[in-house]
């Protein structure tokens, strides 16, 4: 973990004058074809900060190229213009990753990731020596940007300091290479057992630090939030050189019917593969934008966790805690090792193929776990009455039948004998209806499967 982030400060933008920019021919894309963040559900262009390659933020971080995007942020490779004259070991590398959040207007979500990193830094500074702290992506700096280009009368509710502006949280982060999702997309073969065990040990160790020492729940475990460390530092200047000689395709869009303002949307540029015999690095837990401080969360709603990895207590809007991460680990393990989602694509509405269907999801849980939930679980939420009677028997037959042809054993197709038995036991210790009966991250580290 890095040292405590500095207090957030609102910064303005400095544009590079055209005379000192290195211009190469740019490839402009059609405006009517969605790209990048435009393809996401519920995309709102006014929530994204209008980043331009070449901009300098905080009087020191120059944007080099776009690295990625999501529903709540965009990520950019930047150059620290002070690094050559700075002996601080955390800042003496020239390139970092700048994550710029959207101006999501809810009070609870604003600055959440910064607050979590601040909390984790406090835990470390108070003397924690837990080895899991080194398996979490580091943060080096933090500040806020004010976007004054939002049209008057259209600013985000609660998102700005005055008419026609919005505030965007920025975090300067440790550069990483690809995510585990990227790995699976590059090589469709699932993980082998040694790679799986190494990966899961690192994630469980990070979670044990979060849960047992820091009192933090990640809530957003998925292959795209587990990134590989950057061992080949030459990838960063190679990225910058590639952007300079062959600029990323881009498109210019108008945010209002009366221009300006406009915003440029760039295509993300992946890192090139490592050179020579260097590897991609080791798995590290990233993205705390949905994390929660406190091991028991009440009245938080059903919308944490990716739908395919969502724990039953979250679906039924019960109080939840660290055990939701353990359930999420089980789902990630299945995706990495079996090459498919544990509960299959049947948990989505068959008409659209996209919308999560909680009835179908819970019906698959009953089949995969091999038994209905105990009455004690059912009594914890009124919404369980839509699926179960007081004894835990399934009653939502019209909404979704319980599949009769699947079980955890039948879905596992790569192992046999004792090896399969131990692996399924490991999975079952995470896939329990009662959250308090699931093994903790620390307990799972001692499981026979990981020895």
Residue 300, pLDDT > 60, answer: yes
Write the pLDDT tens digit of every residue in 23-40: 456 789 998 999 999 999
Q: Between 63 and 85, whose confidence is greater? A: 63
Whether domain 10-174+233-268 has CATH 3.40.50.150: the reply is: no
Domain ranges (residues) in the chain: 10-174+233-268, 295-450
- How much is the average pLDDT of 222-231? 94
CB 113 within 8 A of CB 169: yes
**What value does the CA radius of gyration of the chain take, rounded to a whole number of Å?**
23
- How much is the average pLDDT of 159-180? 80
3-state secondary structure the chain: CCCCCCCCCEECEECCCHHHCCCCCCCECCCCCCCHHHHCCCCCHHHCCCCCCCCEECCCEEEEEEEEECCCEEEEEEEECCHHHCCCCCCCCCEEEEEEECCCCCCCCCCHHHHHHHHHHHHHHCCCCCHHHHHECCEEEEEEEEECCCCCCCCCCCCCCCCCCEEEEEEEECCEEEEHHHHHHHCCCCCCHHHHHHHHHHHHHHHHHHHHHHCEECCCCCHHHEEEECCCCCHHHHHHHHHHHCCCCEEEEECCCCCCCEEEEECCCCCCCCCCCCCCCCEEECCCCCCEECCEECCCCCCCCCHHHCCHHHHCCCCEECHHHHHHHHHHHHHHHHCCCCCCHHHECCCCCCCECHHHHHHHHHHHHCCCCCHHHHCCCHHHHHCECCCCCECCCCCCCCCCCCCHHHHCCCCCHHHHHHHHHHHHCCCCCCHHHCCCHHHHHCCHHHC
pLDDT for 402 equals: 94
Task: Indicate the CATH number for domain 295-450.
Answer: 1.10.510.10
Mean pLDDT of the chain: 86
Write the pLDDT tens digit of every residue in 111-132: 789 999 999 999 999 999 999 9
- How much is the average pLDDT of 6-19? 50
CB 211 within 8 A of CB 217: yes
Write the pLDDT tens digit of every residue in 385-428: 999 999 999 999 999 999 988 999 999 999 999 999 999 999 99
Catalytic residue, chosen from 55, 80, 208, 220, is 220
Residue 360 sits at the vertex; the CA angle it makes with 359 and 366, to the nearest 5 degrees, is: 90
| Whether 220 is catalytic | yes
- Six token digits for residue 264: 């440029």
Residue 368, pLDDT > 90, answer: yes
pLDDT for 344 equals: 80
**Banded model confidence at residue 104, pLDDT cuts 50, 70, 90:** low
């Amino acid at each position: 973990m890095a040292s405590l982030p500095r207090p957030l400060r609102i910064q303005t933008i400095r544009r590079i004058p055209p005379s000192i920019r290195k211009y190469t021919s740019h490839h402009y894309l059609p405006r009517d074809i969605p790209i990048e963040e435009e393809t996401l559900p519920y995309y709102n262009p006014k929530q994204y900060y209008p980043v331009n390659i070449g901009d300098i933020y905080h009087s020191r971080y120059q944007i080099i190229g776009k690295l990625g995007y999501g529903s709540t942020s965009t990520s950019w490779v930047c150059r620290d213009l002070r690094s050559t004259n700075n002996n601080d070991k955390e800042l003496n590398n020239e390139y970092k990753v700048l994550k710029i959040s959207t101006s999501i207007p809810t009070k609870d979500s604003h600055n959440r990731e910064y607050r979590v990193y601040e909390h984790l830094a406090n835990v470390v500074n108070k003397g924690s020596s837990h080895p899991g702290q080194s398996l979490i992506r580091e943060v080096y700096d933090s500040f806020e940007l004010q976007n004054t280009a939002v049209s008057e009368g259209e600013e985000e509710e609660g998102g700005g300091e005055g008419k026609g502006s919005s505030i965007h949280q920025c975090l300067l982060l440790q550069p990483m290479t690809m995510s585990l999702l990227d790995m699976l997309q590059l090589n469709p073969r699932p993980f082998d057992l040694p790679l799986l065990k190494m990966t899961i040990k690192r994630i469980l160790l990070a979670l044990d630090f979060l849960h047992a020492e820091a009192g933090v729940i990640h809530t957003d475990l998925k292959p795209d939030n587990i990134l590989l460390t950057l061992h080949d530092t030459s990838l960063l200047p190679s990225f910058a050189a590639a952007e300079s000689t062959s600029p990323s395709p881009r498109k210019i869009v108008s945010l209002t019917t009366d221009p300006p303002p406009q915003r440029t949307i760039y295509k993300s540029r992946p890192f090139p593969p490592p050179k020579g015999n260097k590897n991609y690095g080791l798995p590290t837990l990233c993205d705390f934008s949905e994390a929660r401080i406190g091991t028991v969360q009440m009245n938080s709603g059903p919308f944490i966790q990716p739908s395919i990895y969502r724990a039953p207590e979250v679906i039924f809007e019960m109080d939840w805690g660290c055990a939701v991460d353990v359930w999420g680990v089980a789902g990630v393990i299945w995706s990495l090792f079996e090459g498919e989602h544990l509960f299959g694509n049947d948990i989505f509405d068959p008409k659209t193929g996209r919308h999560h269907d909680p009835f179908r999801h819970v019906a698959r849980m009953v089949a995969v776990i091999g038994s209905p939930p105990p009455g004690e679980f059912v009594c914890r939420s009124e919404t369980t009455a839509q699926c179960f009677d007081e004894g835990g028997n399934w009653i939502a037959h019209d909404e979704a039948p319980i599949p009769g042809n699947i079980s955890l054993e039948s879905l596992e197709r790569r192992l046999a004998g004792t090896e399969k038995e131990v692996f399924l036991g490991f999975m079952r210790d995470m896939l329990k209806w009662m959250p308090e009966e699931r093994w903790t991250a620390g307990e799972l580290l001692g499981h026979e499967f990981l020895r």
